[in-house]
Amino acid sequence: MAGTAVRGRLTWQTATVGAVTDETARTRTLRLEVPDWPGHEAGQHVDIRLTADDGYQAERAYSLASAPGEPLAITVERLDDGEVSPYLTQDAQPGDQLEVRGPIGGYFVWEPGSGSGAPLLLAAGGSGVVPLRAILRDRSRAGSSVPARLLYSSRSWEDVIYQSELGFPADGVQVIYTLTRSQPPSWQGYARRVDAQMLAEVAWPAADKPLAYVCGPTSFVESVASGLVALGYPAGRVKTERFGATGQ
């Protein structure tokens, strides 16, 4: 049955690497050209599979960085001991081919109608900003006026992904940074890990019935999600996506 698409099943497809853009020293955005891409929603991801010459395969999930309707793109953070990310962030060139399946996910997904106009709180640890960026781009493309705040925790200013884009947020969008390890000399913003006090200052009041999306390293997500619940957010209004122990 190889090569036969079974209805309802995800199939591996060949993707061709398009333009690559370095975002930071450790992260790179890759456009992927996939014939017959069925479209996706903001917050979804794809699985990428690489096959070595000896047949060994490695597979990882990467959030889509692009909004629905935009050219397909992922942003990948290099993990020095990773099996897939070093190739994607250092070696992949336009024209290279790899295997992709997707779009994947229905839980960590935002659509312009999600939340019924309630304010949107996005909390990112490190490269957890990638699906949240897709949400912000989708919000803009859809002409949504839902008020949105992005709380973005990064090790340093140099590690901030999408720096220039987030520097000019759309109307109704605020971006609040916290830099946990090092800060520029004149830094006026937060300079610590996200904590209860920071959430109380930044998060929309629970009375506004906000919808929250939290993505990042597991410890970051656990801490932020429980902090939001402590502020009165119903657990069902806090969507979480954890990507393990990677740096924040």
Chain residues in the site for other proteins (CB under 8 A): 6, 8-10, 45-47, 61, 101-102, 104-108, 217-219, 222, 239-245
Cα(191)–Cα(180) distance, rounded to whole angstroms? 5
For other proteins, the closer CB: 27 or 223: 223
Find all residues with CB under 8 Å of 188, minimum gap 6, and list them: none
In the bound complex, what is the minimum distance in angstroms from residue 215's beta carbon to other proteins? 9
Find all residues with CB under 8 Å of 3, minimum gap 6, and list them: none
In the bound complex, what is the minimum distance in angstroms from residue 106's beta carbon to other proteins? 4
Residues 119/204, Cβ–Cβ less than 8 Å: yes
For other proteins, the closer CB: 110 or 173: 110
For other proteins, the closer CB: 11 or 182: 11
For other proteins, the closer CB: 19 or 58: 58
In the bound complex, what is the minimum distance in angstroms from residue 187's beta carbon to other proteins? 27
For other proteins, the closer CB: 152 or 213: 213
Cα(1)–Cα(153) distance, rounded to whole angstroms? 46
DSSP codes of every residue in 147-216: -EEEEEEESSGGG-TTHHHHTSPPTTEEEEEEESS---TT--SB-S---HHHHHHHSPPGGG--EEEEEE
In the bound complex, what is the minimum distance in angstroms from residue 43's beta carbon to other proteins? 9
In the bound complex, what is the minimum distance in angstroms from residue 76's beta carbon to other proteins? 15
Please name every residue paired with 148 in a beta bridge, in sequence order, or none if there are none. Answer: 120, 173
For other proteins, the closer CB: 1 or 207: 1
Residue 181 phi, psi dihedral angles, 5° rounding: -110, -45
Instruction: Using alpha carbons, select from 23, 188, 216 the residue that is nearest to residue 123.
Output: 216
Find all residues with CB under 8 Å of 95, minimum gap 6, and list them: 16, 17
For other proteins, the closer CB: 96 or 99: 99
In the bound complex, what is the minimum distance in angstroms from residue 93's beta carbon to other proteins? 25
In the bound complex, what is the minimum distance in angstroms from residue 240's beta carbon to other proteins? 7
